[in-house]
Amino acid sequence: MKRKILITGGAGFIGSHVVRLFTTQYPNYHIINLDKLTYAGNLENLKDVENLENYKFIKGDIVDSDFINTLFDKYDFDGVIHLAAESHVDRSITNPMDFIMTNVVGTVNLLNAAKNNWGNGKNKLFYHVSTDEVYGSLGDTGYFLEDTPYDPKSPYSASKASSDHFVRAYGNTFSLPYVISNCSNNYGPNQFPEKLLPLFINNIIENRELPVYGDGKFTRDWLYVLDHAIAIDKIFHKGKIGDTYNIGGFNEWKNIDLIELLCEKMDAALNRERGTSKKLITFIKDRPGHDKRYAIDANKIKNELGWEPSLQFDEGLSKTIDWYLNNKSWINNVTSGEYQKYYKQQYK
C-alpha cells in the first residue's frame, strides 16, 4: 500500500463518508478506521466497503493513550484524519466532561503518538477536523474567516477550540505537520437522529412534535456531508501545512425557515395534505448559551484548492429526505440500540 492513513471516528456520520471516499478513491491506500462505537458510531454505515482489501476497522478509544501509542507503533501511519469527537451541543451542557476527555485529551493522545513516531515529520500529516462553532456567534452581518478570533460559547465548542489550539501548539513547538479545517453544519445520509434534520424527519414520519428553540431565528450555514468529504480529500492532499481552511456551504438558513421548508417537502414525500407537518412545530425554551448566527466564508478553499459545494441546498435536502424514507430500518436500528448490541458483541 502506498500510504497508511488512520481515520478516527470513521464509523460516525461524517467519518463514514470520508472512509468510503478514501477507500474507493485510493485503492492503494491502507485505510484504518478507528472508532469507539459509541451510540453515534455505526458500522452499518460502511457495509459496502467493509470487505475491501485496503480497509480495516479497529475498535478503540482515543482517550486510552497506551492503546493509541501501540496502534501507532504497529501501523506506522503516514497520516491521520482526526474526526472522532463528541459533537452534540445539548449533551455538552449536561455532561461536559465527556467532551473534555474525548475532544481534548483524546486529541492530545493522538498528537503525542504522532510526535513520538514521526521523527522529522517528512511526508506525514495530522489533519484535525473541527467546527465553525469555535469562532462563537455572529451578528446579522459578517462571516467567519480563517483568522477570526476564537470565542467559543458552549462546552462543546470550548472543547473543540482547545483541541484546535493543541494541534497548532504541537505544530509550533514540535514541528508536527498539520492542517485544520472548520466546517459548518453538515447534513445528509447516516446522521444520528439527535441532530436537527434527521430528528425532525423522523418526528414528522411518526407525527411527533418538532421542538424549536426560542423564536427559531437562529441562523446556520448548511453543508452536504458528501461535499464535506470531498473538501477533506482536497485539504489532505493539497492543503498547505500549518494552514486552516473553513468549509461552508454558502448556504445560510434561519432554523424556522429551514424547518418550514422541510415540512413542505415531507408533506409532499409522504403524500400528506400541505401544512400537516407544520402543525407539529412547537416552540420551546431556548437552550443556554445559544449562538445566534454562524456563517462561513469558504472562499479560501475555493480559490486555493478549487473546492466548492456541488449541490444546491434544495437538491441536497431532497436527497436527504429520500434517503431517510428509504432507510427506515436504519433509523429504527440506531434509535432502538439494536446495532450497538450487535457490534459490542462482535467487537469486544
Cell numbers 448490541 label which residue?
341
Mean pLDDT of 40-49: 90
Q: Is the pLDDT of residue 162 over 50?
A: yes
Mean pLDDT of 27-46: 92
Q: What is the pLDDT of residues 323-334, one digit of tens each?
A: 999 998 888 888
Q: Residue 91 — pLDDT band, cuts 50, 70, 90? A: confident
Q: Residue 348 — pLDDT band, cuts 50, 70, 90? A: very low
Mean pLDDT of 176-183: 98
Q: Whole-model pTM?
A: 0.93
Is 125 part of any domain? yes
Q: Residue 346 — pLDDT band, cuts 50, 70, 90? A: low
Q: Is the pLDDT of residue 347 over 70?
A: no
Helix (H) or strand (E) holding 16: helix 13-25
Q: Which domain holds residue 13?
A: 3-191+221-254+290-313
Q: From the CA atom positions of the chain, what is the Rg in Å?
A: 20
Q: Residue 340 — pLDDT band, cuts 50, 70, 90? A: low
Q: Which residues are catalytic?
A: 132-133, 156
What are the cell numbers at 213?
428553540
Is 67 part of any domain? yes
| C-beta separation of 25 from 32 below 8 A | no
Phi (first) and psi of residue 323, to 5 degrees = -65, -45
Q: Residue 345 — pLDDT band, cuts 50, 70, 90? A: low
| DSSP output for 75-105 | H--SEEEE------HHHHHH-HHHHIIIIII
CATH code for the domain of 239: 3.40.50.720
Is 337 part of any domain? no
| C-beta separation of 133 from 90 below 8 A | no
The number of distinct structural domains making up the chain is 1
| C-beta separation of 277 from 212 below 8 A | no
207 conformational bin, left if phi > 0, alpha if psi -120 to 50, beta if neither: left
Is 209 part of any domain? no
Is 9 part of any domain? yes
Is 57 part of any domain? yes
Window from 34-43, 54-63, 225-234, 285-294 with minimum mean pLDDT? 285-294
Cell numbers 484546535 label which residue?
164
Cα–Cα distance between 91 and 155 in angstroms, integer? 9
Is 32 part of any domain? yes
Q: 8 forms bridges with which residues in the sheet?
A: 34, 82
Is 344 part of any domain? no
Cα–Cα distance between 343 and 335 in angstroms, integer? 15
Q: 128 forms bridges with which residues in the sheet?
A: 82, 180
Q: Which residues lie closer than 8 Å to 59 by C-beta, 6 or more apart?
A: 34, 35, 36, 37, 347
| C-beta separation of 145 from 297 below 8 A | yes
